[in-house]
């Protein structure tokens, strides 16, 4: 069975094997691993030693995004969100339920946000202290450009929180060149090809200190996570977490380095996505995005007319491929991930599985 969702992703056996031990997260023996992983993640984000710090939080990316919103945006303050996908909608819900005011910038879910659109929205909404943006929108597969959007945010004198959950480790990010970014948030899975369990924020130390006490939640207070690192001198995590995921993360980072780094991994994902996009089009299916707007993380396709979606998902699994069992686009669709420990052979198999699954359901397709 090949796992082709935009997360969790298929992992290498050595990554999974690293978890095959019991670990006490506060013991001295675990300390070097934990410190190493945090420093390597900061470097991968382009963070500056002393100015940025990597902060772990047990749980999913949604929990980390809520923590970032609570930690950097004052209660009752306004946050602008470019709304071009499901995960932007989820971010808006997290912000509202945390007591922040959300200003939505409506956009189509078929292309990335444009810097001039964000700049114009900020000029109309001086009350917005922050822009929160999803870098890679896995609802449809589009990519928003944090460097271009960040320049508009910086020019307007505002701050930015970046959801890099399905982007980090592949798509470009340089926090040293983007001082307007309070934090970039991601998880131990997705493009890092580790296992789920932890979220991470690479955050500015000065902004953590400025926002101390405003989270309104002990569990979701990144300033408190930062404070904890200062108390004990080496940054042991608060509370018990799935620390085996940290062991797996170290091996996953070793594999990223061995592959040639972020750019080489991105090239592999781009080739995967291109193979899926072209393969589905050759079957007579209609990709949700144009080739120029197609990102490298997930490829989404309009559902053929008459498709029984639950039966299709079951047929895909009979044909050896697991894909997302739900869709989040404005129009009915299905999506296939291009990330994880997979390459072109797995992409060919995925296209064949779609072809054979549609045939099982009696739906017409190209030869």
Predicted confidence at residue 230, as pLDDT, reads 77
Q: How many residues are there in the chain?
A: 367
Q: What is the distance between the alpha carbons of residues 78 and 76, in angstroms, rounded to a whole number?
A: 7
**Angle value at C-alpha 235, between 200 and 62, nearest 5 degrees:** 20
Q: Give the chain's largest Cα–Cα span.
A: 65
pTM of the shown model: 0.96
Which neighbouring-strand residues pair with 181? 160
d(CA 233, CA 221): 19
Phi, psi of 362 (to 5 degrees): 75, 25
Euclidean distance between the first and the last CA atom of the chain, given in angstroms as a whole number: 25
Q: 3-class SS at 303?
A: coil
Closest CA to 45 of 226, 144, 184, 163: 184
Q: What is the pLDDT of residues 19-54, one digit of tens each?
A: 999 988 888 888 899 999 999 999 999 999 999 999
Task: Kindly give the confidence (pLDDT) of every residue in the chain, 367 residues in length, as a single tens digit, with 9 standing for 90 and above.
Answer: 999 999 999 999 999 999 999 988 888 888 899 999 999 999 999 999 999 999 999 999 999 999 999 999 999 999 999 999 999 999 999 999 999 999 999 999 999 999 999 999 999 999 999 999 999 999 999 999 999 999 999 999 999 999 999 999 999 999 999 999 999 999 999 999 999 999 999 999 999 999 999 999 999 999 999 988 877 656 678 888 899 999 999 999 999 999 999 999 999 999 999 999 999 999 999 999 999 999 999 999 999 999 999 999 999 999 999 999 999 998 999 999 999 999 999 999 999 999 999 999 999 664 3
Element (DSSP H or E) covering residue 264: helix 262-282
Query: pLDDT tens digits for 149-174?
Result: 999 999 999 999 999 999 999 999 99
Task: Give the list of residues 6+ apart from residue 297 with CB closer than 8 angstroms, or none.
Answer: 6, 136, 138, 141, 143, 166, 167, 170, 191, 269, 273, 337, 338, 339
């Amino acid at each position: 069975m090949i796992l082709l969702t935009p997360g969790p992703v298929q992992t290498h056996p050595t990554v999974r094997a690293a978890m095959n031990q019991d670990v006490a997260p506060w013991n001295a023996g675990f300390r070097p691993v934990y410190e190493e992983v945090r420093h390597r993640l900061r470097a991968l984000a382009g963070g500056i030693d002393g100015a940025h710090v990597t902060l772990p939080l047990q749980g999913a990316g949604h929990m980390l995004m809520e923590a970032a919103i609570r930690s950097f945006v004052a209660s009752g303050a306004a946050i602008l969100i470019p709304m071009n996908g499901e995960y932007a909608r989820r971010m808006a819900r997290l912000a509202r339920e945390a007591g922040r005011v959300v200003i939505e910038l409506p956009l189509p879910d078929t292309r990335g946000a444009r810097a001039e659109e964000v700049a114009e929205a900020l000029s109309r909404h001086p009350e917005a202290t922050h822009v929160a943006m999803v870098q890679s929108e896995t609802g449809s597969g589009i990519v928003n450009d944090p460097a271009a959007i960040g320049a508009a945010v910086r020019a307007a004198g505002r701050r930015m929180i970046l959801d890099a959950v399905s982007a980090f480790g592949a798509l470009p990010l340089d926090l040293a060149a983007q001082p307007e970014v309070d934090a970039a948030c991601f998880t131990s899975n997705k493009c890092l090809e580790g296992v789920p369990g932890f979220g991470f924020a690479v955050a500015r130390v000065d902004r953590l200190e400025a926002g101390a006490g405003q989270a309104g939640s002990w569990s979701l207070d990144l300033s408190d996570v930062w404070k904890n690192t200062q108390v004990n001198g080496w940054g042991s995590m608060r509370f018990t977490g799935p620390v085996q995921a940290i062991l797996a993360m170290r091996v996953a980072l070793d594999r990223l380095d061995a592959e040639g780094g972020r750019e080489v991994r991105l090239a592999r994902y781009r080739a995967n996505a291109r193979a899926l996009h072209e393969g589905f089009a050759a079957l007579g299916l209609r990709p949700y995005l144009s080739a120029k707007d197609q990102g490298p993380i997930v490829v989404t396709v309009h559902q053929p007319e008459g498709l029984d979606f639950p039966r299709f998902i079951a047929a895909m699994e009979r044909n050896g491929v697991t894909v997302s069992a739900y869709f989040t686009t404005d129009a009915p669709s299905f999506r296939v991930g291009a990330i994880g420990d997979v390459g072109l052979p797995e992409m060919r198999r995925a296209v064949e599985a779609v072809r054979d699954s549609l045939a099982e359901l009696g739906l017409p397709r190209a030869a």
